[in-house]
Structure 1
Amino acid sequence: MSFERVLGQLRGGLIVSCQAPADSPLHDPYVIGAMAAAAVKQGAIAVRIDSPAHIAAVRDRISVPIIGLWKQVIPSSEVYITPQFHHAQAVAEAGADVIAIDATERSRPGGETLADLVQQIHDQLQKPVMADIDTLASAQAAVAAGVDLLGTTLYGYTRETQHCEPPGFELLGNLIDQFAVPCICEGGIASPAAAQQALKLGASAVVVGTAITGIDILVQRYQAALSDV
């Protein structure tokens, strides 16, 4: 599938992030595949999936684009979303159409630069890259490195933005004003109204995770609220 076709499919709709904590019973390829299939059946234009095993299970069940990533904790770096090329390669081989990577300005493991990683993914894997960013400065660096999509994914989840509360609508507006690269709003979208607002601001698409598929977190919230009564 060409870059243009994939990017064209990621416009104007809902992307569902189908993930689960590692200690959850839902953290199972079959279950993640079922979540993704249910989301697509109800109109999701794409899904966002973590890890090669889960991506492969989802690929067997759906034909819409998969934004793939692989969360890896590396002691020498705070970067954990598809931190190195071999992680991106495994994600691509599992069936992802787009590779999502951490594109913050934090130090990368192994000394690899963001530009190097993007070029390797383009040249060797022939896949578009979604840059998960946290600030306008990281977006500028990501665009300079040649990424194909910007996502507000890490707004509120880095040291620079830990005082910020997602969704990053102000950041989204700045990205849309300053860059021609399509922007996806991800993080903190907790209602259909918020998703609609993101599109009205100019987002190419909206990623929703916890509010749709986060059973573990949602049950914890309800249980905590009821325990206080």
Structure 2
Amino acid sequence: MDKESLMKQLKGGLIVSCQALPGEPLYIEGDTMMPLMAKAAKEAGACAIRTNGVMDVERIKEAVGLPIIGIIKKDYPGWEQYITVTMEEVDSLVKAGADIIALDCTLRERGDGKTIGDFIREIKSKYPEQLLMADISSLEEGINAWKSGIDFVGTTLSGYTPYTVGKEGPDYELVEKLAEAIDVPVIAEGKVHYPEQAAKMLELGAYAVVVGGAITRPLEIAKRFMKEIANVSK
């Protein structure tokens, strides 16, 4: 899918994150059930899928034919980042056919000593046509990623970095400020649990909205119900 067609498909749409990590009930070693989640998302009208790992990128793309935002979560000793942090992961996602590759674009010190701007430019030099999405946690990080040549900026990590921990619920303020400050699409992501929250993100200027746990993680959903029930039972 060319960039213009992709942009049209994403605008104003719902991107469903279909992921299962080791230790979670829906994770299957050596296999995946995420294409089934993606099929349900497509039937509901999702415009794209965000997923983790080469196998899920390939199988979901084959199963639903929707644009794929691909990531690879991998821990590296000495790194705070774990979302698509080296060229090895980028190479794998390009080969797998990810339409957009998302990577940690926070300003935390990287284990290889490079700045995130350096890394973005390296990827763009090697893969000039590859679309990239910055997973960030602050306005400063979003602006920096935009100036470094990123194609989309997502609020994925708001509340998950040491300097943003404690933020509860969707970061409406960050989405609104980013939409005003940069001229690439802002993808709202993170702690969007209810339909009205997703709609509000679009009203504030988000180009599209990613929802994951509220749709595709039944354990997380059930825990939210149990928490509320427990509060009443006390």
User: Shift of residue 94 of structure 1?
Assistant: 1.4
Unpaired segments ≥5 residues, structure 2: none
Q: Identify the residue that residue 213 of structure 1 maps to in structure 2.
A: 216
The 5 Å alignment of 1:182-193 reads 182-193=185-196
| Alignment partners' CA distance in 2, 1:8 and 1:198 | 18
- 1:195 paired with 2:182, answer no
- CA distance change for structure 1 residues 187 and 2 in 2, over 3 Å: closer, same or farther? same
8 A Cα contact 2:213 2:221, kept in partner:
yes
8 A Cα contact 2:25 2:219, kept in partner:
no
- 1:139 paired with 2:139, answer no
8 A Cα contact 2:79 2:111, kept in partner:
yes
User: Shift of residue 227 of structure 1?
Assistant: 5.4
Deviations along 1:19-44, whole A, 9 cap, x unmatched?
A: 12311231234311110111012100
- 1:87 paired with 2:80, answer no
State the identity %. 38
Q: Identify the residue that residue 117 of structure 1 maps to in structure 2.
A: 119
The 5 Å alignment of 1:93-104 reads 93-104=95-106
Q: Identify the residue that residue 73 of structure 1 maps to in structure 2.
A: 75
User: Shift of residue 131 of structure 1?
Assistant: 0.4
8 A Cα contact 1:45 1:65, kept in partner:
yes
User: Matched residue of 1:8: which SS?
Assistant: helix
Which has the larger displacement, 172-181 or 16-25?
Answer: 16-25
| Alignment partners' CA distance in 2, 1:166 and 1:106 | 23
Under a length normalisation based on structure 1, what TM-score does the superposition of the two structures give? 0.94
User: Matched residue of 2:102: which SS?
Assistant: strand
1:47 aligned to which of 46, 49, 56 = 49
- 1:155 paired with 2:167, answer no
Which has the larger displacement, 206-215 or 113-122?
Answer: 113-122
- 1:63 paired with 2:65, answer yes
Quote the RMSD (CA, aligned, Å): 1.6
Which has the larger displacement, 63-72 or 108-117?
Answer: 108-117
- 1:8 paired with 2:11, answer no
Query: What one-letter code is carried by the residue in structure 2 that aligns with 1:199?
Result: L
Q: Identify the residue that residue 21 of structure 1 maps to in structure 2.
A: 21
- CA distance change for structure 1 residues 74 and 166 in 2, over 3 Å: closer, same or farther? farther
User: Shift of residue 106 of structure 1?
Assistant: 0.5
| Alignment partners' CA distance in 1, 2:209 and 2:78 | 32
Q: Identify the residue that residue 31 of structure 1 maps to in structure 2.
A: 33
| Alignment partners' CA distance in 2, 1:4 and 1:122 | 18
User: Matched residue of 2:64: which SS?
Assistant: coil
User: Shift of residue 123 of structure 1?
Assistant: 3.1
Query: What one-letter code is carried by the residue in structure 1 that aligns with 2:130?
Result: K
- CA distance change for structure 1 residues 158 and 38 in 2, over 3 Å: closer, same or farther? same
User: Shift of residue 211 of structure 1?
Assistant: 0.7
Deviations along 1:131-159, whole A, 9 cap, x unmatched?
A: 01111111121111100001011011101
Matched length: 229
8 A Cα contact 1:130 1:148, kept in partner:
yes
Unpaired segments ≥5 residues, structure 1: none
